[in-house]
Amino acid sequence: MRLKSIAFMLLLSGLSACSTTQKPQESENLTTNVSEPEPIQTLSAQQLYQQAQNSEGATRVQLLNRTQNQAINEQNWSLLLQASDTLLRSHPEQQIQAVLLKSYAQAQMGEPQRALQSSRSVQSQLQTPEHFYWHQLVQGTAYMRMQMPQQSAPFLLRASETANRYQIEASQLNPILWRSLQSLSPQQLTKYDSGSAIAKGWVQLAKIKQLYLGSPVELHQASNNWQRRYPGHPASFALDEKVAELMKIEPYNATKLAVILPLSGANKGLGEAVKSGVLAALDNYQFEDIYFIDANLENQQLTQQLNDKQIDFAVGPLLKSNINRFEQHNLLEGIPSIYLNRSDIERQSLQHYYFALAPEHELDQALAHFMAKGFEKPLILAPNERSGQRLSEHFSSQWQRYNEQPPLVGLFDDNKEMEKVITELLEVDDSEARIDAIEGIFKRNVKSETRSRRDIDVVYLLANATQTRLLKPYLDVNVSTFVERIPLYASSKSHSTRIDSTDKRDLNGLYFTELPWMLPTKGLANLNTRQLRERFDSLWPDVADIEQRLFAMGYDAISLIPQLRQLSMLPGKSQTGLTGELSVISNGEIVRHLAWARYQSRSINKVSLEHLDPTPLFMKKQFEESSNVMAPESVAQ
């Protein structure tokens, strides 16, 4: 905040004092020795605050405002909070700006919810462009503190537009807006690629960075073109430092690769499937040497082999138990690595990444789609065993972060219990009981049709392929014809290429998530991938589904190596793989966004479904109210 009005008054008073011209005194010396002026000392925020405490009236207000400015420059958030509270107590005319800067301090101090609540208390009183700018900056900063960049971006873009229009100094805004946009995917960025030239410029530069990261020549050329198109744009600050820094990012230069897999024992078949995928990927990536090492070796033997072969990159192990062992004993210390599963141990190195075919990725993706569709009461059906319980609990806990009502969960112990669980959950048995009671009263058969409950608006199956083929007919029969047909969704567990080759009956209309690799070749857009799939099918026509998935995983693990550093720098950047769209989040986990497909007329077709990053339930009301805050008409004119 800059004290333009106060500074203007001081300037006028200074000019007034100089308006009386005095006759210069005569001097015998025609030359005078002029001493160098003393440099102006910049006071710290603490010094300014101390002076304010010893002052009164307008001088006190001015010093407190200068304290706020300097505290922001120094990132002294506790003092910013203290100075703002002082203004609120003793100078109510400063309330709006003081509350906004207090909220900003709260957001920076790790209290984003309090910051949102504080700024909401004055959002109906915003009077000046500066008020609106700081309100939007506080909102955007708070959401970024909660790691919600998609909710943050629109506030920060509006703040940037306001700062540009009214010449408001925005050094605090630009870096956080840049970080927010870096965290968005290309699809999410496109949502904001419209409107003012300011918004377009920010989004276009973020897209350029994602597209050409790791390609210095193309990045430099595209950045120059952007600069010519958007001269003087506030995002230009990123060109000199941020883009130049990114141009220096070198991919991992792996020359001696170790692939550590279970090559003996009970899990040898799983290791061989991954190995086949790795070998297939080597047609596109050249290493000086590649070594396949058995993960079942003793620690000392493993360390000896890694040292003797001078390994500079590792892929594996595959099994979680082996990954835990490797991390506990630091067996891959100093070696960049892609573990092929999750770990129960905290990440040991920023050069270690975790690539798992985790079903939780699919559940989160389904939830984002359900939120986009506006579903309110999902029914989850899963087998009553360890995996089914874990996944249904994961979905339920995630769902309740964003919705007041929990989902309905049905667990079945065996195939015979499926129909019973469905009729109870849909309350079809209650409808049948009412029909029986009416027939008992009239002592004759009554023409009737059972009704199911009406509040369930989507069904999500976490069952395997065989169970899904039994569940869907039960659902079709028991959903009442008096209500609109409930859409059915399933995870990739429901899909089996081997079973589908002989049986697609009764699955018409079912949506499911799946690895692109597991869909029919017509669903693979890339020609090389289609040819790879055809070659795979000719070599291994009867291979199990799990081995097909592990082949794709091994292939993608090798394909990721040249892009890992770039992906980890840009949370919104992704790479297309056989296992899905791959991105890297802050904890080093490689996250998959799978393809959607649908059974239609005894065939499987790839479909595109919308997704929405949901807002946590406790934030919804605040977000909706804050999103509706617009600049006052007096400001916008």
Q: What is the pLDDT of residues 14-66, one digit of tens each?
A: 433 343 334 334 433 433 344 444 444 678 989 998 888 888 888 988 899 89
Angle at alpha carbon of residue 600, lines to 596 and 602, rounded to 5°: 120
User: 3-class DSSP state for residue 20?
Assistant: coil
CB 264 within 8 A of CB 296: yes
The per-residue pLDDT for range 324-350, each reduced to its tens digit, is 999 999 999 999 999 999 998 888 888
539, amino acid identity = L
Q: Which helix (H) or strand (E) covers residue 577, if one does?
A: strand 575-577
pLDDT at 266 over 90: yes
Domain covering 184-249 in this structure, CATH number: 1.25.40.650
Nearest C-alpha neighbor of 478 from the set 452, 504, 458: 452
Same CATH fold assignment for domains 184-249 and 256-357? no
Cα distance between residue 485 and residue 472, in whole Å: 13
**Residue 202 above 80 pLDDT?**
yes
In this prediction, residues 573-592 reach a mean pLDDT of 92
| Beta strands across the sheet bearing 488-490 | 408-412, 378-383, 458-461, 488-490, 511-514, 595-600, 603-607
Q: What is the enclosing helix (H) or strand (E) of 354? A: strand 352-355
Closest CA to 388 of 527, 518, 298, 491: 491
Mean pLDDT score, 232-251: 72
Hey, where are the domains in the chain? 184-249, 256-357, 360-414+452-607
- C-alpha 22/C-alpha 354 separation (Å) is 79
Backbone φ, ψ for residue 299 (5° rounding): -55, -45
pLDDT value at residue 213: 72
- Residue 146: CB partners within 8 Å, gap ≥ 6? 112, 113, 616, 619
Which whole number is the average pLDDT over 233-256?
A: 75
Which residues, other chains included, contact 614 with Cβ-Cβ below 8 Å and sequence gap of 6+?
Answer: 367, 368, 371, 401, 402
Query: What token pair was written down for 620?
Result: 């919804």
From the number of C-beta atoms within 10 Å of its C-beta (0-12, 13-18, 19+), residue 17 rates as exposed
Summarize the confidence of residues 358-366 as an average pLDDT. Answer: 95
Specify the pLDDT at position 597.
95
Range from 11-15, 172-176, 628-632 that averages highest in pLDDT:
172-176
Average the pLDDT over 119-141 and give the result. 92
Q: What whole-number distance in Å separates Cα of residue 602 and Cα of residue 503?
A: 9
Check residue 243 and give its pLDDT.
58
What's the confidence (pLDDT) of residue 242? 55
Which residue type is seen at 398? Q
Q: How far is CA 590 from CA 52, 313, 339, 392, 476, in A?
A: 52, 17, 10, 22, 37
- Distance, CA of 304 to CA of 589 (rounded, Å): 28
Query: Is 90 exceeded by the pLDDT of residue 13?
Result: no
What is the predicted pLDDT for the residue at 569?
A: 80
Cα 574 to Cα 187: distance, rounded to the nearest angstrom: 11
Q: Which two tokens stand for residue 609?
A: 């479904």
- List all residues 6 or more positions away from 530 whose beta carbon is below 8 Å from its beta carbon: 521, 524
What distance in Å separates the CA atoms of residue 67 and residue 70, rounded to the nearest whole number? 5
Higher pLDDT, 400 or 476: 400
**pLDDT band, very low/low/confident/very high, at 579 (cuts 50, 70, 90):** very high
Alpha-carbon distances of 563 from 215, 289, 347, 584, rounded to whole Å: 11, 20, 20, 10
What DSSP assignment string belongs to 427-479? THHHHHHHHHHHHHHHTS---------SS--EEEE---HHHHHHHHHHHHHHS
Give the DSSP H/E element, type plus range, for residue 6.
helix 4-17
Report the share of the chain in percent with pLDDT over 70: 81
Bond from prior residue into 336 cis (ω within 30 degrees of 0): no
The pTM of this model reads: 0.71
Which range in 4-8, 54-58, 394-398 is most confidently predicted, on average pLDDT?
A: 394-398
| Secondary structure (3-state) at 287 | coil
Q: What is the per-residue pLDDT for 636? A: 40
Contacts of 140 (CB under 8 A, 6+ apart): 152, 153, 154, 155, 156, 159, 176, 177, 180
Instruction: Write down the mean pLDDT value for the chain.
Output: 83
User: In what helix (H) or strand (E) does residue 582 lie, and over which residues does it extend?
Assistant: strand 580-584
Ranges assigned E (strand) in 12-137: none
Between the two ends of the chain, the Cα-to-Cα distance in Å is 21
User: What average pLDDT does this structure show over 564-569?
Assistant: 86
Cα–Cα distance between 316 and 296 in angstroms, integer? Answer: 12
Closest Cα partner for 555 from 263, 352, 269, 338? 338
In the predicted structure, residue 487 carries a pLDDT above the cut 70: yes
Q: Provide DSSP, 124-168.
A: GG--SHHHHHHHHHHHHHHHHHTT-HHHHHHHHHHHHHHHHHTT-
Q: May I ask the CATH class of domain 256-357?
A: alpha beta
CB 97 within 8 A of CB 131: yes
Higher pLDDT, 544 or 210: 544
How far apart are alpha carbons 358 and 368 in whole angstroms? Answer: 17
- Average pLDDT of the residues in 435-445: 38
* Residue 591 · residue 583 · CB < 8 Å: yes
| Alpha-carbon separation of residue 538 from 47, 541, 542, 543 (angstroms) | 78, 6, 9, 11
Output the CATH code of domain 360-414+452-607.
3.40.50.2300
